[in-house]
Structure 1
Amino acid sequence: MTINQLADQNPFTTADGSTIRSILDATNAPVQNQSLAEASLPAGGQTDRHYHKLSEEIYFMLDGEASMEIDGEVKTVGPNDAILIPPNAWHQITATSDIRFLCCCAPVYAHEDTYFK
């Protein structure tokens, strides 16, 4: 059985510019097909617009409000919103306040699967 505590995970910056703490992924558990991380951005911060060829992502907003853009469509998101980001979809999240959200990726998140213009 694998149980990881969020507080025990060290934050790092992803290729898109967000700060994350991996909760469960291939670096800290015997995960094979998905990953779960907590991501955060300060008010006014944003990820670099990007896409993933392989990964399908789900963002689940915990705290704060943001503008979420997926393939040119923009919506305001906040606590308890779940956002589906399909593979190959260009996306960017911009924090209008300090935000914190969960990010689930399948397959497992990899810097090498993050593409920019």
Structure 2
Amino acid sequence: MEVTTQQFSSKDFHQTFARPVYVKPEKLIHRNVEQAGEHNQFSTERKHPVFFVDLPTKNVSMTIGGLLPGQLTNRHRHTYETVLYVLEGKGYTEVEGEKVEWQAGDAVYIPSWAWHRHQNLSDTEPARYLACENAPQLQNLGVALREEEGRDL
């Protein structure tokens, strides 16, 4: 694979012609994601189970999040967008003070830098969701930021 080392600036825009090249990643599948175990740091910090999908994507991430019966997470915000797809359970996500109720099969959008938190409305059953975020893209650009109420403020 040929790697370009030339650095471009805005005056060179006309010289940056796309030359896509397939680069085989180290892996294309992460089997049995939840069997790999909770991500200890994030599960503890976010106060609910989090399972990372470990694939070499540089622009989007995917995690499986769980809310224990009756659980309410801390309020937090981040510079990346999130789309939650609810796999099981019933609850709500509070986005900038607005309560958005959800149940299995629903998708919820959390805009960048919006204060939010999640609540499982069942006292007996867990809730689970798939979270897709553009965090890796912003991390690679050096502009990803996350604030947790009670920790950072």
Q: Same fold (TM over 0.5)?
A: yes
Question: Which structure has more helix as a fraction of its residues?
Answer: 2
Matched, 1:18 2:43: no
Q: Select the structure of larger CA radius of gyration.
A: 2
Matches within 5 A, 1:57-72: 57-72=82-97
Once residues 69 and 117 of structure 2 are traced to their aligned partners in structure 1, the CA distance between those partners, rounded to angstroms, is 14
Q: How far off is 1:79 after superposition?
A: 0.6
Residue 130 of structure 2, aligned match among 85, 102, 106: 102
1:66-106 deviation per Cα after TM superposition (whole angstroms, max 9, x unaligned) = 12100110022101110000110010101112100001110
RMSD, matched Cα: 2.0
Q: How far off is 1:9 after superposition?
A: 2.5
**Structure with more relative contact order (C-alpha pairs < 8 Å, separation 6 or more):** 1
Residue segments in structure 2 that go unaligned for 5+ positions in a row: 1-26
Percent sequence identity over matched residues?
25
Q: 1:113 to 1:14 in 2, by over 3 A?
A: farther
TM-score, normalised by the number of residues in structure 1:
0.84
Matched, 1:81 2:106: yes
Residue segments in structure 1 that go unaligned for 5+ positions in a row: none
TM-score, normalised by the number of residues in structure 2:
0.66
